[in-house]
Chains A and B, each alone.
Chain A
């Protein structure tokens, strides 16, 4: 009798559990859109940062602990991108489900092949570097598919009853990107081989995808303002090699990059790097559209 009651209780609990949407929290808005694309109405998604913020320097506001406290899943960039603000929020959230290594923790960097991994010993004389690799990896469509697939698999583990639903939505997501692929490839083709300068070394994955040739960086040591000497040398190099674009994320101050572009006879490209970078970029495909539009303008 006791066993029967226990079984009924467990079944009832599972039923209630199955109806409850998966509470997904992401550290960047692009991941939030990917999670919505895969999770549909089976997930409730919130992002801790906005696309118009620098994801290195989000303020660890205590209200974000409240958001994390209710999370079933935390999808984060990893590779130390959020190391300056996320750990105290996770600890303060008192939510063991999202602790590193737990079932609710998705370090999305595990799904991609990291670039710019140092092979020699590094130190902070090179600036605020990322020793495990470059964390700005989410824009190229191949990586977006890999991340979405990783989310689908984890959501399915946590909500096995919705496994088919997540798989169908993933296939639809891939199919949608494939329909856009022809247009994106056509837009990207003229960019191949273009010599560019970027503000921060955060476009490596995009450059690899679009075959851009990065010839220098405005901020040559990440997180440290560039010296006048470096800027003068950069401008000389840009003129020598014919670099015609300076790419800067929308959340950075453009003053220095503007000056470099003007002095070198190049164009400043204020490029979105995340969903939410502007009001009209609300989905991942819109992010790629906007980025390609900015680069080909």
Chain B
């Protein structure tokens, strides 16, 4: 009885929440199907609105307001010492338990607005509040929808298509923190700045897209180091005097559906600009600083995404995705003091496997390597991360994340530095109408 009563109530509520079908839906029960087909074929096609105009609730669906969404990540964590670097949307542990950094933070609150502007443009605005540190514009971008010759243009402030991870927002990440190479080579905020992009869908039998971007990166306010790839560091000219400088990128993306269940996506990327100011001073104890590397530099990257996912779940929910990105950088000249050494090349990579092991469970393992090859100011750093995600629904998830990181003294190999570990528990909820994401 205990179980039947709530169920009956649920059925009653559920049935009340839906409209009875319109009186003209289908055909009269007394007529034969052939007659109904004649009627459907003979009457003018219905062009009625999707929802009855009489309903005030339904009328709201025809609103011309933008789609609005809010995505919030709340994260608690504990670390055994500082990490090599921290991305702008990584969780900041602002308190301490004894000697250890610890805390609970609103890792990010993202507010999104998306809308079609007119027959020629669509627009997106994403505001972000990382770690309760104030409101920033993460992206404010206009995209064309009707350029000829398979061209598409974007302009505004947006994330570059350089690599794979850089273009993704926090809620698309499979791990609580971004890969090391993104922070080290594209800056703590990734490569995002005011700019313009022109992309061309190459007329080929498979997906092949070529894009070029130009960003005008200004000196960051109140910070001596660059927060993104490109621009002019405030420390070298002074924030007020420093004008924006141009950063250019080019990307070639290809996609191959190897089989119905197996997809391969690959990209070649190159960027030209000033490197962000993350470097480490060699010595008996490695000291990593946020200082400028004002030398112009060329950055190359290769990204690969291989996904196995059956076309349906009749045989089970297992799916597997492998992502790898490799970065290589060449400075035009040697870095300035306090850093020293040859201009490179240096580089890094990450590789990750994420498996869906049940309908609601995902497990991910990632290895980050910096210093492949290594320089005096880019020592060998590695991080191993494990992520376990529980999906409450499409709109809420809980993630447990742990990592272990080492930075090696000069001349020594990976895993030779003192280990620093951290653990996080991250709850993410998504509200409102957030647009679908690219593959």
Contacts and interface: CB of A to CB of B under 8 A. Distances in A.
Interface string B2-43: 011011101100101111011011110100111011111100
A75 interface: no
A91 B123 CA distance: 12
B359 A118 contact: no
A111 B7 contact: no
A191 interface: no
B69 to A, nearest CB: 12
Interface in A97-155: 99-100, 102, 107, 109-122, 124, 126-128, 131-133, 140-143, 145-146, 149-150, 153
A17 interface: no
A117 B58 contact: yes
B6 A233 contact: yes
Contacts of A83: 436
Interface string B42-72: 0001111111100101100100000000000
Nearest to B122: A91
A79 interface: yes
A66 interface: yes
Contact of A96 (B145, B317, B359): B145
Nearest to B5: A233
Interface string B343-380: 00000000000000001100000000000000000000
A52 to B, nearest CB: 6
Contact of B314 (A91, A132, A133, A251): A251
B97 interface: no
Given A120-B17, A177-B37, A182-B34, A84 B436 contact: yes
A236 B312 CA distance: 30
12 contacts: A60-B437, A88-B435, A91-B143, A113-B46, A126-B17, A131-B61, A132-B50, A142-B36, A149-B41, A177-B37, A185-B32, A253-B313
Given A92-B152, A115-B25, A145-B37, 8 more contacts: A50-B260, A78-B50, A114-B51, A120-B57, A122-B17, A126-B17, A170-B41, A181-B32
4 closest pairs, A vs B, by CB?
A233-B7, A96-B146, A251-B312, A113-B25
Interface of B: 3-4, 6-8, 10-11, 14, 16-19, 21-22, 24-27, 29, 32-34, 36-41, 45-52, 55, 57-58, 61, 116, 119, 122, 143, 145-147, 150-152, 201, 204-207, 209, 253, 255-257, 260, 263, 265, 309, 311-317, 359-360, 392-395, 435-439
Interface of A: 50, 52-54, 59-63, 65-66, 69, 78-79, 83-88, 91-94, 96, 99-100, 102, 107, 109-122, 124, 126-128, 131-133, 140-143, 145-146, 149-150, 153, 170-171, 174, 177-178, 181-182, 184-185, 208-209, 211, 216, 220, 223-225, 229-230, 232-234, 236-237, 240, 250-254
